[in-house]
Structure formats: structure tokens, C-alpha cells
Chain A
Amino acid sequence: QVQLQESGPGLVKPSETLSLTCTVSGGSITSAYWSWIRQPPGKGLEWIGYVYYSGSTNYNPSLKSRVTLSVDTSKNQFSLRLSSVTAADTAVYYCARDRLDSASGMDVWGQGTTVTVSS
């Protein structure tokens, strides 16, 4: 079955760019849409955006000016870049398979990776 694994630095300095990668195993990245979601400590879930294998994207307007999602089909990976980070971007970041084409929800999630923004 499809599994997802996030990877990337756990500590990012303020004003720098956060970069994370999600590796898809057990299935093809061309089979679905792929979303990123984050969760600040002790708080709820915030959808960041999705990327499709074709490269099409949709971003949360609250982050749109700072977010870039991309996909590498040759590696079965997709990535998140968030620029000009502040302490407010400290969160657990999750990648997920988004069955938005069939309205079937986000059915596979990575375990999450904690990113702290601090100097």
C-alpha cells in the first residue's frame, strides 16, 4: 500500500526558506493529488496546498505568496518550499494523498516532521 515519508531540516532560521520533501512508496505519484498540511504546537490543522503530477498546484491564499509546491516524478517525490519563515511557521508538517478528484478525502498521511523556526 502507498506510504509517505517527509524529510528535511528540523530547524530553520527566521527569514530563511523551509524545504521539505515527501517520498511516495508503494504506488505511483501519478495516481493522485498530493497535499501538504501543517499543525502548530497544540493547535489545529491548516491545509497548505496541493500539487498534481503534471505540476498543477493550488495554494492556500494565506500562504500563497511564500509557498511553492513541486513534483519530481522520476523520484516519486513532491516538495514544499516556504520562504521568509517566522516563528509562526513552527509546526509539524504532514504530506498526504488527496483524493480530491473523487472527493474521498486525504486517505494516506506521512508521519509528520517537526520544523522549528529559531535563530
Chain B
Amino acid sequence: DIQMTQSPSSVSASVGERVTITCRASHDISSWLAWYQQKPGKAPKLLIYAASSLQSGVPSRFSGSGSGTDFTLTISSLQPEDFATYYCQQANSFPWTFGQGTKVEIK
């Protein structure tokens, strides 16, 4: 299985700040990476697919980059509704695997 490692595990930030989350794959996954946002008690929501493609309806303050083994999710200006847990997921080879999550908390 491909292991996905996110860092940091949690981050405290203020509204308006820029937040960056990193995801590293144990093997080359090309650009087959997705990012999800999950709020407490809710299902995950797709934000980014194919490493950098913004899902329809997702605000442009979210962006993704990277290829191979190293990827980044950036929130350019954190909004109150962005406080949540974020997961990366590789879609290069089965079984699909997720990172352990990064919790974005209010500073």
C-alpha cells in the first residue's frame, strides 16, 4: 500500500492567515492526489483533485500543487468556515489510502 503522511497534524491560525498543509506519498503517485475537508459530524468534501484541479463550487482561496511524492494544499486567506480537518488521498494505485489528517484550529 502507498502510505500518505501529512504535516503538520494540527495547525493554529487566525482568520486571514495563509495556511499550508503538506502531504507526502511513500511512492511516486504522479498527480493522482485529492484533498478533502471534513467538519465535525459531516462527510468529507472534495476540494482538489488531480493535485491541482479545483472542484466545482470550491472557493478559489483553496489551491493544490505538487507531483510525484510531495504535495501541498494552501488556503490563501483563512475564513471562519475553513476550520476543519483536511485529508489527502492518493488515487494512483489500489487500495486508495488517506493521510492521517490535519486539523486547522482557531488561534
* A in complex with B: yes
Minimum distance in angstroms from A72 CB to a CB of chain B: 22
The answer to whether A111 touches B46, judged by C-beta atoms less than 8 angstroms apart, is: no
For residue A46, which residues in chain B have a CB less than 8 angstroms away from its CB? 98
| Contact in complex: A61, B49 (CB < 8 Å) | no
Which of B49, B87, B99 meets A104, CB within 8 Å? B49
Q: Are A44 and B101 in contact (CB under 8 A)?
A: yes
How many residues in B have their beta carbons less than 8 Å from beta carbons of A? 25
Q: Is the CB of B89 within 8 A of A105?
A: yes
The residue on B at minimum CB distance from A112 is: B43
Contacts between chains A and B (CB distance < 8 A), count: 64
Interface residue SS majority, chain B: loop
Least Cβ–Cβ distance between A91 and chain B, in angstroms: 13
The number of chain A residues touching the other chain, given as a range, is: 20 to 34
Q: Does A78 count as interface, using CB distance less than 8 angstroms?
A: no
User: A109 at the A/B interface (Cβ < 8 Å)?
Assistant: yes
Does B69 reach chain A (CB closer than 8 Å)? Answer: no
CB pair A100–B91 under 8 Å, yes or no, is yes
Q: Which residues does A use to contact B, with CB under 8 Å? A: 35, 37, 44-47, 49, 58-62, 94, 96, 99-100, 103-107, 109-112
Enumerate 17 A-B pairs (CB-CB under 8 Å) in ascending A order.
A44-B98, A44-B100, A47-B89, A47-B96, A58-B94, A61-B1, A62-B95, A94-B44, A99-B49, A104-B53, A105-B48, A106-B34, A106-B44, A107-B49, A109-B44, A111-B43, A112-B43
